[in-house]
Amino acid sequence: MEFLQLLLSGLANGCVYGLIALGFVLIYKATEAVNFAQGDFMMLGAFVMIGLVNSHFLGINFWIAVPLALLIMGALGYLLDITLLRSLFGQNQVAIVILTISLGFVIRFFAGAIWGHEPLNLQSPLALGDVRIGGAVISLADLAVIIVTVLLTISLWQFFQRTKLGLAMQASSQNQMAAYYMGIPVKRVQGAVWALSAILACIAGILYASKGAVDVSAGFIGIKAFAAAVIGGFGSLPGALIGGLIVGVIEPFAGRYLPSGYSQLAPYVILILVLIFRPHGLFAQVRTKKV
């Protein structure tokens, strides 16, 4: 029974990691850049939602606030792309890595200045109630996280495989110049994907905030999401979810069975092992060019 309980809590946490990792993968898949600020986007999404919903801020109804928060974050993602990231269009990835790391610092600063550095709880209808599954208890929030994540992953995966925009996104990452020749408005596509990943971060943030208190440094769980994305093979959407689940499930078990102090090492050790033995992750996206 303890096993099942650990597994369930691990799965719920893993889904949050997976959601953030999905954001990484989306941007990587479409722009070949890695957004080191994705965790901070999630934190910001959670705080935007808290600012809209909580009674001592605006106090809007939860279900009206959800689309509002998504809209705000999406607009923010698009604005960041057209103001900051577009000026680095076509440049080396490293420049974008450094840009997004500093963006994370700035976001953390603004969130701290607006909402303070104390942990805050989202007044969410998901925070109430539990569901019993065969003796193990799972909170409504955890269940929502799992369902939303699985649905999102499947729909985004299909979006990338099937729709015209999804294919345009993939094309513009594989070869920007060739994408231009094919008539893809590469810059606008990139703006769209930044908006999309900011929305995704906002969903992750809302779910994360429903699970417990959020503070300004919550964005650092983005580092665990890196582990998830890398394990899944950066660039594969289902891989990101599975990587997230692996990291999420290993954590509570390591905490339970390993001596204290060692358990928080587990995700990073796995990350490094995967990088050494399967550098391109479990669902490798690297292919050798066929001539």
Partner 1 sequence: MRFHFKTSYDHDIRLFPDWWTFFVYGALLAVMVALPFLMDSFFLSEVTNVMIWAVAGLGLMLLTGTTGQVSLGHSAFMALGCYLCANLMFAGLPFLIAFPLAGILTGLIGALIAVPVLRLHGVYLAIATLALAIITEDLIVILRQWTGGVNGMFAPDIMIFGTEVNRWVNPEYWYYMTLAIVVIVTLIYVNLLRSPLGRAFAAVRDSEVSAQAMGIDVSRTKTIAFGLSCGITGLGGALMGFFAGAFNNETFTFLLAIQLLMMIVVGGMGFIHGAFLGAIVIAFLPQGLSIVTDNVRVLNIPGLEFGAFGAILIFFIIFEPMGLYGRWLKIRTWFELFPFARRDMFRRQKSYLKTERVR
CB of 158 to partner 1, least distance (A): 20
- Please tell me whether residue 286 binds partner 1 under the rule CB under 8 A: yes
Contact 120, 113 (CB under 8 A): no
Burial class (CB in 10 A: 0-12, 13-18, 19+), 4: middle
How long a stretch of residues is the chain? 291
Q: Please provide the DSSP assignment of 94-127 as one string.
A: HHHHHHHHHHHHHHHHHHHHHH-SS-B----GGG
Q: Per-residue x/- mask for partner 1, residues 40 to 69, rule CB under 8 A?
A: ------------------------------
Identity of the residue, 63 or 277, whose beta carbon is nearer to partner 1 in the bound complex? 277
Closest CB to partner 1 among residues 162, 287:
287
Q: What does the alpha-carbon distance between residue 241 and residue 236 come to, in Å, rounded to a whole number?
A: 9
Three-class DSSP category at 174: helix
Q: By the 8 A CB rule, do 13 and 267 touch?
A: no
CB of 72 to partner 1, least distance (A): 20
Q: Which of residues 179-238 bind partner 1 (CB under 8 A)?
A: 180, 216, 223, 226-227, 230, 234-235
Residues 227-246 that bind partner 1 (CB under 8 A): 227, 230, 234-235
- Interface mask (CB under 8 A) for partner 1, residues 122-161, using x and -? ----------------------------------------
> For residue 239, what are the CA distances in angstroms to 19, 52, 197, 231?
11, 33, 17, 8
Q: Which of 143, 267, 252 is nearest to 207 (CA)?
A: 143
* Residues 64-123, interacting with partner 1 (CB under 8 A): 84, 87-88, 90-91, 93-95, 97-99, 101-106, 108-110, 112-113, 117
Interface with partner 1 (CB under 8 A): 28, 31-32, 34, 84, 87-88, 90-91, 93-95, 97-99, 101-106, 108-110, 112-113, 117, 173-177, 180, 216, 223, 226-227, 230, 234-235, 261-262, 264-265, 268-269, 271-272, 275-276, 279, 285-289
